[in-house]
Chain A
Amino acid sequence: METNYLIWLLLVPLILSLVAFAARWMGRFTRPVAEAAHLVCITVVLVLTLLVIRGVLNSGVVFAMRNWLHVDALGAVFLLIIGLVGFLAGLYSIGYIRHDLETGEFDNNKLSLYYGLFSLFLFTMLLVVTSNNIIMMWVAVEATTLGSAFLVGIYGHYSSLEAAWKYVVICTVGVAFGLYGTILIYSDAVNVMQVPGAAVLWTEIVKYAKDFDPALLKMSFVFVMVGFGTKAGLFPMHAWLPDAHSEAPSPVSAMLSAVLLNCALFIIIRFSIITNQGLGPAFTQTLFLIFGTVSVAAAAFFIFVQRDVKRLLAYSSMENIGLIVLAFGLGGPFGVFAGLLQAVNHSLVKSLMFCTTGNILIKYRSRNLDQVKGMLQVIPFTSLLLICGALALIGTPPFNIFVSKFFIITTGLGTGYTWLMIFCLLLLTVVFAGFLRFIVAAVFGEKPADMVKGEFNWLTLAPVAVLLVLILILGVYMPPQLAALLQGATGVALTGNPAIQSSSFGQLQNFTGLSAGLVQTKAFMASINNLLP
């Protein structure tokens, strides 16, 4: 049954994207048909995502299409991000694009193109995290660039076309490096396994990786890190990120920041598992620590000097991706768990923030902090969402990112990286200052004289409010299913074996409260530690 769900999970957004594209020829029915196709797509994708995840929780792994598709706990975590953020950002899209239609930024043709591309973009990201075939994984990630390039440049302004071109060129070049690394791994897999059909499947490669040529493993992982790291927005390959994320329509910015970056990170993690099997974890962890730390450092200073709201959030994405990578660099069960938790938490908060800035754009028609002032008097509900989102991003309790950042820092201190963690805390202080300045500048102060008070419509508020509720809940409570998923994903990331976590699920009991959850997680991590070589 889950096999069928997995296949439909990919087919539905592909089919509905074609329906949305075709809507442009339906005259006055263009908008209702395109919106309906979009709404059905994001809803069905969310439902199917949850069904597939349930299958993973029950059986550990789901396969389909002669094992070319595969979802284990690690894939399920990223699938959850795609399904949830895709649904909420997609719902927000409807209200946001209706505003663009009213103001003349969009016409019916562009609307149909937008919803078609959104569904196609969703399809390509789903293909990335469900592919077991490493070459098809690369094709899917390249397809995410090509599919989203027109979304980035959809407004057709000078700046948006510039951003789209930079995005396409830099990411395509980067992903080409990732392809080279993929081909090197595949070629060694064929040499070792002598079965070309199996040597292309990640689940098979992992079993034989310990017999691969060490020099080739190192070289391929460097290519993968640089290549897919470009797509993930790691410094210094990040040049496209602030441009693309700021120029795209706000719901697309949410998808780029909260989902796409994670998809690229997912591939890096998949290849790190292969490399770790062959070389041990030290090599990949060193690279993760380097790229993670410099990404956080560079992002912190860019955040501090930003005057453009969306560019500020884009650099915040770079900072958070850097933190996730750094957590993987700390290694061990705690580091990996903390990194995965940060990935989930950041996705929810960042999508909240980008949708909120969409409301700012609707009202103020500007992203410049010199013009966005007195939000509390103009759009009070959005202001509240913005304040909460910003506090969440800087790691303030009781929001969810506090938990994962705390976990990362304490793991670093526990594993002997004291000075590195002190350095990170200093950088996070710079980020804190940057966001504080942003909130004070935008929310308080005198509103522009001609600004009328009032939000746009409920569609631009409800999805964001749901995100706020989620980030508050996850700040104080971890649902047992999510904990099980994260623990299973940790097991996969450390050992490459999806069977590790299935017996450990039995250890979990329903727990409430953060401290109880951490105690349970610690017990599980200890059991994982005993299984590592």
Chain B
Amino acid sequence: MTGVTLVNSLSGLLIITSLLVIEVKQPRWSALLYSVQSIILVIIFIVLGYIHQADQLYLWAATAFLTKVVLVPLILYRAMSRVPDEEMPKNTMGPTLTLVMAAIALAVSFIVINQLQLKAAEPFKPALAVSLAHFFFGELCIMTQRNLFKQLLGFCLMENGSALTLALLAYSAPELVEIGLVTDAVFGVVIMVLLGNQIYKNLHTLDTAKLNTLRG
């Protein structure tokens, strides 16, 4: 299996893990599945680093491992562990409809990416389409989940999509850029978890359907 085929195949696995993150009933399991997805992302970075002979991608793989595989899932898992399972809000949309919408998002992404002329990334167009689709998967997660920590996971899925796009299209970016993105992603998760904890402590709910007093 060539490196290009491996990258495109692993991107397919990203789709499966994203759908599992969205649909799994236990929110703590979502955090663990996000960690699994991030491991796949790290492997993709390493393979791309080997293909392009780009040392930066090995560094990105290391930072992605520390932040996306370990740190972020740990923060989320601990935040969700403080809330009893029976208080966790349920999804608003069934798995069938979620799958249909995800399929539409993926199809649209493939159509859009096919229009672009990207010399360096031509062989990786399937992976690129998957990275774009992750934006829509993340939005799907945010729209269909009432648990505000799972909405946060939607944001994390979008971040993974951005990271994959950056690795496919712009792996030669200065290291400070990747560090800036990763730091921002971690800070984003930390701040949203802090806000989520404050909401749970003061309002005794994680259900975003109950956060609807402000209208008009």
Contacts and interface: CB of A to CB of B under 8 A. Distances in A.
Interface of A: 133, 135-136, 139, 142-143, 146, 149-150, 153, 156, 158-159, 161-166, 168-169, 172-173, 176-177, 179-180, 183-184, 186-188, 190-191, 196-197, 200, 213, 215-216, 219, 242-243, 246-247, 302, 305-306, 311
A169 B199 CA distance: 14
A168 B192 contact: yes
B26 interface: no
Nearest to A142: B184
List of 8 A-B pairs having minimum Cβ-Cβ separation, nearest first: A187-B169, A196-B172, A162-B211, A176-B158, A243-B214, A135-B177, A139-B180, A187-B170
Chain B interface mostly: helix
Contacts, number: 135
Contacts of A183: 162, 165-166, 169-170
Interface in B153-170: 154-155, 158-159, 161-162, 165-166, 169-170
B170 A190 contact: yes
B213 interface: yes
B205 to A, nearest CB: 10
Given A135-B177, A196-B174, A215-B115, A187 B155 contact: no
B155 A173 contact: yes
Interface of B: 112, 115-121, 132, 135, 138-139, 142, 148, 151, 154-155, 158-159, 161-162, 165-166, 169-170, 172-174, 177, 180-181, 183-184, 187-188, 191-192, 194-196, 198-199, 202-203, 208, 211-214, 216
A219 B112 contact: yes
23 contacts: A135-B180, A142-B188, A150-B195, A161-B198, A161-B199, A164-B195, A166-B211, A166-B214, A172-B188, A173-B155, A176-B135, A176-B158, A177-B135, A180-B132, A180-B162, A183-B162, A183-B169, A191-B119, A213-B118, A216-B117, A216-B118, A246-B214, A305-B216
A143 B132 contact: no
Contacts of A213: 116-118
Which residue, of A150, A153, A168, has the highest number of chain B Cβ atoms within 10 A?
A168
A215 B120 contact: no
B58 to A, nearest CB: 16
Contact of A158 (B118, B195, B213): B213
A322 B11 CA distance: 39
